[in-house]
A and B are shown apart, each in its own frame.
Chain A
Amino acid sequence: MNAPTRQPDADIRELSYSEAIREAMGLALERDERVVLMGEDIGVYGGAFQVTGDLVERFGADRVMDTPISELGGAGVAVGAALTGLRPIYEFQFSDFAALAMEQIVNQAAKMRYMLGGEASVPVVFRMPAGSGTGAAAQHSQSFEAWFGHVPGLKVVQPSTPEDAKGLLLAALEDPDPVVMFEHKLLYKMKGHVPEGWYTTPIGKSAIRRHGKDVTIVASAIMVHRALAAAEKLAGEGIEVEIIDLRSVRPIDGDAIIGSVKKTGRLLCVYEGVRTLGIGAEISAMIAESEAFDFLDAPVLRLGGAEAPIPYNPDLEKAAVPQIPDIESAARRLARREV
């Protein structure tokens, strides 16, 4: 089942994706003195996307820390703090700005445990508002999850629902290793069931969002919802699509994908990052190398971001990443054996 390891008595209520993340951070700040939030304008401003919201009022500016506009330094301070005993959550205002901090995330945080022979631990969480669809153009709309997924030592998660946003963030906080969490900006307002209290969604485990026998779609973040919409339409044509919500990019849940492809024989990967050398390449290769290969009854298809920066014009912006009709048509072609 796709349900996280939640407490049995937890209530089911509706929260938005950003409220779910805020609730997770609030719980963490309450429960663990070592937790600090860091980031640009996360204090009285409430965060660029209002994710931290009123947390500064509840926990004070010492624990909900506005940093200067210094992504490299800020990320590095979080790494040093994690290395010496705090549990920092560092919010990048936009995941694009993480490019400024690659040094600290990739060269330091990810490698520290290894370089020191297992003698050090860097339990830091980097939160990354990501994705296109907001008209913010090339430098505020990217999807870098594959970049970070390429780095041993990091874990990369990409929740698609409010429930998982909270569960994965709490799992990330409990994790002794650095975790990068990609939050799709278009999902922040999406509402969904969120259990109360502390629960974690396991890192490295995908979720089957829809069962089907004809085609497997592996999607992440907002693409899960687009794939679900496409699947609904295809169901009317008698095509039964199975949808796997990746949830974790690193480690990737190979078993679930392999199992599903063995059943359907057809695989479509849908992701927002640039198509080439992306998540879809990894999943396709993984399937080609796995025992699911013998069950493939059609070429594997990938739908990913265009080979271009995210454009400003809304029509171009839409065309730059997979949309519902694209997913629908690709899955239909697979199901109808037209590819």
Chain B
Amino acid sequence: MPTEVILPKVDMDMDAGLLAQWHVATGEHVEKGAALFDIETDKAAMEVEAPASGIVGHIVAEAGSRIPVGQVVAWIYAENEEIPDLPPGGTISGDTGAAEQEAGRNEVAEVPQPTAPAARGSDEAGAENDSGSPRPRATPAARAAARKSGVDLGRVAGSGPKGRIQADDVMRQQPVSSGPAAVAGLSEAAPPVDWAENQRPLAMTRRKGRAKGHPILLIHGFAADASGWAPLEKALGDAREIIRIELPCHGRSPLVRIGSFREFTRMMVRAFDDLDVAQLHLVGHSLGGAVAAAIADIRPRRIASLSLISPAGLGPEIDGATLYGIARATRTDSLAPWLKRLAARPDAISHDFAKAAMMARMEPELRAAQVELADMLFPDGTQSFDLSAAMARVDTPFKIVWGRQDRILPWRHALRAPDVAGLHLLDKAGHIPHIERPEAVALPLLENFRTGEIPVQQR
């Protein structure tokens, strides 16, 4: 019996090797242990020794071919053994190549091909992507609740940090049952609004302060949102914590149907009560100023100081056309002219400013809600509420800042403020002095804060 020579496994993870070179030829004599051929693997090249002494009768694998481990590559015959014409198993090098190619093809076929996301699964994700809007920030629980109740997360305002939608936000967004009566009662112009229940918390954002001192609570005006405070915040510095609450039907706060200024204020007081702050400096602009005055009247002990910027509530006049113009505008081009009326110098309102303002008001529901709010608060272009009595009761440091070029609320309303209020009437400022002249606004405000932080006896 001839001795078979196989391609040995020489590495742990080897299943084939390259037969690099033969050291012997057919018919030659070899000694057991002599080098027979070289194999190369991914890691090394090494000599394979003859397993027996004798004549190399047949070499059945050619140099340069890749051979699977265990495959016979040659036969060694004893000195006196008869060598047949054909090797016991036939030649194999050609087959091997074919087999390898075959295997190669199979391998390629098994590699998962990157496929088009045809089956992009969930309806939730699909709907959001189709609308082109970014995926809303929401907790897993909120997403699960939205899936369950069929609520579109894109229509839910998140009350969590960074506007994150939390489970509660979705729960309160459950559509109010729209029976035939409700449908009939809708005005033709107004798009359907998903009104939330009143209990829904208002959107609130906070920025930590660097030093001690009471936090500052900022309440924005009609048709604005918390982002409008950025210039003033910069001017106020980072010593005190800043808290911003967004009015109902504004920013990320819920869209709610409100029957009166009193109800509007009650929602704000509830949000105010939820704050874990003993005392704070209250700052309000325009409608937010009126709300601030109302809060100061209801919760006097928690107010360290009151600062009102162009506040509403001190007289009947108001530029209703601008209010509705802003509330109804559906594109930047129709919004910008109204915005320019807010400022002393029209060029203070850039195209980018108007565009950003429009971006924040893209939601038709939000616009409809604000129109309805304007209908309630400012019927016939008139301020329906009066805060002068409330302001008269304020006994904390109190300042009012107004722009002399205000075209929305006339600055002369300031003259109706109580005598304890310090008045700061700014030139080159319209209805939005905190955006037009933030430093000039910050100055009296900071003074007001400092006074508010001095114990009463020492004032």
Contact = CB atoms under 8 A, between A and B. Distances in A.
A315 interface: no
A12 interface: no
A11 interface: no
Contact of A295 (B140, B159, B160, B168): B140
Given A297-B142, A298-B139, A338 B206 contact: yes
Interface string A282-321: 0000000000011111100000000000000000000000
Interface in B136-150: 139-144
A294 B144 contact: yes
B307 interface: no
Contacts of B160: 298, 337
Interface string B159-173: 111000011100000
Contact of A294 (B141, B159, B166, B168): B141
B143 A294 contact: yes
A297 to B, nearest CB: 4
Contacts of B168: 297
A338 B141 contact: no
A313 to B, nearest CB: 26
A339 B160 CA distance: 8
Given A298-B166, A337-B166, A338-B206, A293 B161 contact: no
Interface residues of A, number: 12
B136 to A, nearest CB: 15
A297 B161 contact: no
Nearest to A288: B140
Contacts of A338: 161, 206
A294 B148 CA distance: 11
A265 interface: yes
A339 B162 CA distance: 9
Contacts of A337: 159-161, 166
A338 B166 CA distance: 12
A297 B159 CA distance: 12
B161 A265 contact: no
A297 B206 contact: no
Interface in B6-22: none
Given A297-B139, A298-B139, A339 B161 contact: yes
Interface string B300-329: 000000000000000000000000000000
B140 A293 contact: yes
Contacts of B159: 337
Contacts of A339: 161
A298 B161 CA distance: 10
B243 to A, nearest CB: 12
B161 A294 contact: no
Contacts of B167: 265, 297
B206 A296 contact: no
Nearest to B139: A297
A329 to B, nearest CB: 12
B199 to A, nearest CB: 15
Residue of A296, A336, A338 most packed against chain B (CB within 10 A): A296
Residue of A293, A295, A296, A337 most packed against chain B (CB within 10 A): A337
A296 B142 CA distance: 8
B16 to A, nearest CB: 30
A213 to B, nearest CB: 13
A294 B206 contact: no
A337 B202 CA distance: 13
B78 to A, nearest CB: 44
Contacts of B142: 297
Contacts of A297: 139-142, 166-168
A265 B141 contact: yes
Contacts of A336: 276
Nearest to B143: A294
A337 B160 CA distance: 6
Interface in A227-245: 237
Residue of A237, A265, A297, A336 most packed against chain B (CB within 10 A): A297
A300 to B, nearest CB: 10
A161 B20 CA distance: 69
A91 B336 CA distance: 78
B429 to A, nearest CB: 35
A294 B143 CA distance: 7
A13 to B, nearest CB: 43
A336 B159 CA distance: 11
Contacts of A294: 140-141, 143-144
B141 A295 contact: yes
Nearest to A293: B140
B141 to A, nearest CB: 4
A337 B139 CA distance: 11
Nearest to A339: B161
Interface in A202-244: 237
A298 B140 CA distance: 8
Interface in B119-158: 139-144
Residue of A237, A294, A296 most packed against chain B (CB within 10 A): A294
Residue of B159, B167, B168 most packed against chain A (CB within 10 A): B167
Nearest to A299: B139
A129 B305 CA distance: 56
Contacts of B161: 337-339
Interface in B397-411: none
A265 B143 CA distance: 13
A297 B171 CA distance: 13
10 contacts: A237-B276, A293-B140, A295-B141, A295-B144, A296-B139, A296-B140, A297-B167, A337-B159, A337-B161, A338-B161
Given A294-B144, A295-B141, 7 more contacts: A265-B139, A265-B167, A294-B141, A294-B143, A296-B141, A298-B160, A337-B161
- The 9 A-B pairs of least Cβ separation, nearest first, read A294-B144, A297-B141, A296-B140, A297-B139, A297-B167, A293-B140, A337-B160, A295-B141, A297-B166
Interface of B: 139-144, 159-161, 166-168, 206, 276
